[in-house]
């Protein structure tokens, strides 16, 4: 896919990786529609900067937990652009045990509604437009929390409900790939510990002791957390270069899932 001239919907563009992806795509000639909701300062900055970014962009305040609001969002995209080629399902809310402590039912429901439910309703509403494009592509952003849960050093950062929601995204990615084929590719980008997402620049990371932070980075085979350029390289690949890839999960975690246990030296044997 040649990105220039395409129309993309990126969820959660006010801050973090959603914002990074919005301006990455806008800088490559994509007309970007994006959403914001509960980050007033960041949302105001997003609207202001997107208006001066060049191109034909759209930023809307949408509570993506509400199916009726999602219907209105896709209607607005169709009215403005008449088409849609790219959906980046980035929205999530993950409570960190080190921040939130013991679960409340409200926190659990928020994580499920934002991380899982919103993604499903947006995909459902966007699929007809994506199919009409003849070359649609969906990118579901998820977390290795869906694999490791609250085990090991990640247990202070990943909550049970957030982990369960991310495990479910893998199942939805595979099913949506079947629904979208052959016109629409659907893939999952599963992220590990990244700056501004689970690691440096987050409230939870700052609450960890130095020893706890070293335990996390020491569990990563590449011995560092991810950076925005690592993310954007993968986004570019999945959107514009991986034409034969659908229903797949790309795990971008620096080797966290494989880390921890070392490979012992080969023993001499007895023969």
* CA dihedral sign, ordered 238, 236, 189, 44: negative
Distance CA 138, CA 9 (A): 10
- For 187-228, the pLDDT digits (tens) are 999 999 999 999 999 999 999 999 999 999 999 999 999 999
- For 174-189, the pLDDT digits (tens) are 999 999 999 999 999 9
* Contact between residue 62 and residue 35 where contact means Cβ atoms under 8 Å apart: yes
- For 107-128, the pLDDT digits (tens) are 999 999 999 999 999 999 999 9
* Contact between residue 87 and residue 136 where contact means Cβ atoms under 8 Å apart: yes
Q: Does residue 20 surpass a pLDDT of 90?
A: yes
Distance CA 90, CA 212 (A): 28
- Whole-number pLDDT of residue 38: 86
Model confidence at 95, pLDDT cuts 50, 70, 90, reads confident
Query: How far from chain centre, in Å, is Cα 250?
Result: 12
- Whole-number pLDDT of residue 39: 82
Show the 3-state SS of 114-175. HHHHHHHHHHHHHHHHHHHHCCEEEEEEEECHHHHCCCHHHHHCCCHHHHHHHHHHHHHHHH
Order of strands across the sheet with 184-191? Answer: 58-61, 31-36, 7-10, 86-89, 136-143, 184-191, 249-252
In which element (H, E) is residue 218 found? Answer: helix 210-219
Model confidence at 94, pLDDT cuts 50, 70, 90, reads confident
Q: Does residue 256 surpass a pLDDT of 90?
A: yes
Q: Does residue 93 surpass a pLDDT of 90?
A: no
* Contact between residue 89 and residue 115 where contact means Cβ atoms under 8 Å apart: no
- Whole-number pLDDT of residue 158: 95
Written as one string, the DSSP assignment of 59-82 is EEE--TTSHHHHHHHHHHHHHHHS
Model confidence at 88, pLDDT cuts 50, 70, 90, reads very high
- Whole-number pLDDT of residue 174: 98
Q: What is the mean pLDDT of the chain?
A: 95
Q: Which tokens belong to 238?
A: 């999945």
- Whole-number pLDDT of residue 193: 98
What's the whole-model pTM score?
Answer: 0.95
Query: How far from chain centre, in Å, is Cα 192?
Result: 11
Q: At a CB cut-off of 8 Å and minimum separation 6, what does 16 contact?
A: 196, 197
Structural domains for the chain? 7-252 (3.40.50.720)
- Whole-number pLDDT of residue 79: 98
Distance CA 231, CA 237 (A): 10
- For 46-83, the pLDDT digits (tens) are 999 999 999 999 999 999 999 999 999 999 999 999 99
């Amino acid at each position: 896919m040649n990105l220039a001239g395409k129309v993309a919907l990126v969820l959660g563009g006010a801050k973090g990786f959603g914002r990074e992806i919005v301006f990455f795509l806008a800088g490559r000639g994509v007309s970007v529609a994006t959403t914001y909701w509960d980050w007033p300062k960041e949302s105001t900055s997003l609207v202001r900067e997107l208006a001066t970014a060049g191109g034909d962009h759209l930023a809307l305040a949408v509570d993506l937990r509400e199916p009726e609001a999602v219907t209105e969002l896709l209607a607005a995209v169709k009215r403005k652009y008449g088409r849609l080629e790219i959906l980046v399902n980035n929205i999530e809310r993950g409570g960190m045990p080190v921040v939130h402590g013991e679960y409340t039912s409200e926190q659990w429901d928020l994580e499920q509604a934002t991380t899982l439910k919103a993604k499903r309703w947006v995909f459902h509403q966007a699929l007809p437009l994506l199919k009409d494009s003849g070359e649609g592509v969906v990118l579901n952003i998820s977390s290795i929390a869906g694999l490791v849960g609250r085990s090991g050093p990640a247990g202070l950062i990943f909550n049970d409900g957030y982990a369960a929601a991310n495990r479910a995204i893998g199942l939805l990615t595979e099913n949506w790939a079947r629904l979208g084929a052959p016109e629409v590719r659907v893939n999952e980008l599963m992220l590990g510990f990244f700056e501004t997402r689970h690691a440096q620049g987050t409230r939870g990371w700052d609450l960890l002791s130095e020893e706890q932070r070293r335990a996390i980075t020491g569990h990563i085979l590449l011995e560092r957390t991810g950076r925005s350029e690592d993310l954007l390289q993968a986004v570019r690949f999945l959107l514009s270069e991986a034409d034969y890839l659908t229903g797949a999960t790309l795990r971008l975690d620096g080797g966290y899932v494989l880390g921890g246990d070392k490979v012992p030296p080969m023993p001499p044997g007895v023969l």
